[in-house]
Amino acid sequence: MAVATSGAGTASRRTSRGAFNLRKLLQLNWFGGAAAWLWLVIVMVPLYWIVVTSFKDQTAYFSQNPFALPTAPTLANYRLVIESDFPQYFLNSVIVTAGTIVPAVAIAFMAAYAIVRGAGGKFLAGVNGLFLMGLAIPLQATIIPVYLLIIRMHLYDSLLAIILPSIAFAIPLSVLVLSNFIRDVPKELFESMRVDGAGEWDMLRGLALPLTRPALVTVSIYNGLGVWNGFLLPLILTQSPDKRTLPLALWTFQGQYSVNIPAVLASVMLTTLPIVLLYAIGRRQLLSGLTAGFSR
């Protein structure tokens, strides 16, 4: 089913460039256009406000029009944030994100490969069903037993405590998206490799891996975003300041400096900037991949 529909997707994309064009039709969508531009303004106003305010000092913030560019731009807010141990929190977030995504995507890829290649086997069908079920369950609701598990494993207040459940939570969607992509690899290719004496492991590395690389990047970015921005797991599974990840650090910083709005917004800027830079680089991949993964 999935193959048929995603195949149809590429086909229709091709025809849309053809004789008759959807383009012309959609060009006339004034109503949608108005909604899109209006919503763009709604999206951009707070973002613009974050950027300009983060460069103002407090007096300027109170005396100036909130949307005016800073007359005397200052980096003092950023200095304050950086001196509040943000490099440490940044490092923690990097460790947690990389420590989750690399193993999660690797094992999800293996599972997706097995599910596609071993189709027909009862065991793998069951495994697939289990992962699909995982998609429908709000996994955050299981946080209390996860907390209990982490305590019993003596992992409480460590970065590993965040990493392990994050890997588990990332698996269902990753397997779904990756298996849809592996299904698109022509079976003849697998067959000809098999005839040449390749084992499953060789086919996984030599065939499935290179052909599904875009999906792997997409799944990594998507899950990476979720982990980087995650709040509940760090909140519940860690406690010491030196184990804080960025979202948690943001929250405590805001509690401390709630009146110093420029500083608070500078902290928002600093935690978001790395992601925006990554987005600028990997945007095409992320957007097209998400579309392929969700819109069926």
Partner 1 sequence: MTVPSAAPPVLPARARKALSGVGRSGPVAWMAIPALAIFVVFGIVPLFGVLFLSFTRWDGLGAIDPAGFANWRSVLSDPALPHTVWVTFEIMILSWAVQTPLSLLIGTFLAGRQRYRGFLAVLFFIPLLLSSAAIAITYKALLDPNFGLGAGLKVGLLTQDWLGRENLALGVVVFVVSWQFIPFHSLIYQGGVRQIPTSMYEAASIDGAGRIRQFFSITLPQLKYTIITSSTLMVVGSLTFFDLIFVLTAGGPGDATRVLALDMYKRGFQANLMGPASVIAVLLVLIGLALALLLRRLGGSTTASQQEGA
Cβ within 8 Å of residue 73, ≥6 positions away: 55, 56
Distance CA 165, CA 242 (A): 20
CB of 9 to partner 1, least distance (A): 4
Reduce the secondary structure of the chain to three states and give it as a string: CHHHHHHHHHHHHHHHCCCCCHHHHHHCCHHHHHHHHHHHHHHHHHHHHHHHHHCCCHHHHHHCCCCCCCCCCCCHHHHHHHHCCHHHHHHHHHHHHHHHHHHHHHHHHHHHHHHHHCCCCHHHHHHHHHHHHHHHCCHHHHHHHHHHHHHHCCCCCCHHHHHHHHHHHHHHHHHHHHHHHHHCCCHHHHHHHHHCCCCHHHHHHHHHHHHCHHHHHHHHHHHHHHHHCCCHHHHHHCCCHHHCCHHHHHHHHHHHCCCCHHHHHHHHHHHHHHHHHHHHHHHHHHHHHHHHHHCC
Distance CA 128, CA 179 (A): 10
CB under 8 A: which stretch of 73-81, 82-90, 168-176, 209-217 binds partner 1?
168-176
CB of 44 to partner 1, least distance (A): 6
Q: Is 69 in the site for partner 1 (CB under 8 A)?
A: no
Q: Is 22 in the site for partner 1 (CB under 8 A)?
A: yes
Q: Is 281 in the site for partner 1 (CB under 8 A)?
A: no
Nearer to partner 1, 76 or 143 (CB): 143
**Interface pick for partner 1 out of 73, 231, 239, 241 (rule CB under 8 A):** 231
101-130: which residues touch partner 1 (CB under 8 A)?
107-108, 110-111, 113-121, 123-125, 127-130
Q: Is 159 in the site for partner 1 (CB under 8 A)?
A: no
Q: Is 90 in the site for partner 1 (CB under 8 A)?
A: no
**Interface pick for partner 1 out of 59, 71, 240, 295 (rule CB under 8 A):** 295
CB of 79 to partner 1, least distance (A): 19
Q: Is 216 in the site for partner 1 (CB under 8 A)?
A: no
**Interface pick for partner 1 out of 80, 155, 236, 266 (rule CB under 8 A):** 236
How many residues bind partner 1 (CB under 8 A)? The answer is: 136
CB of 212 to partner 1, least distance (A): 14
48-67: which residues touch partner 1 (CB under 8 A)?
49-50, 61-62, 64-67
**Interface pick for partner 1 out of 84, 158, 229, 285 (rule CB under 8 A):** 229
CB under 8 A: which stretch of 69-77, 80-88, 144-152, 212-220 binds partner 1?
144-152
CB under 8 A: which stretch of 3-11, 72-80, 82-90, 210-218 binds partner 1?
3-11
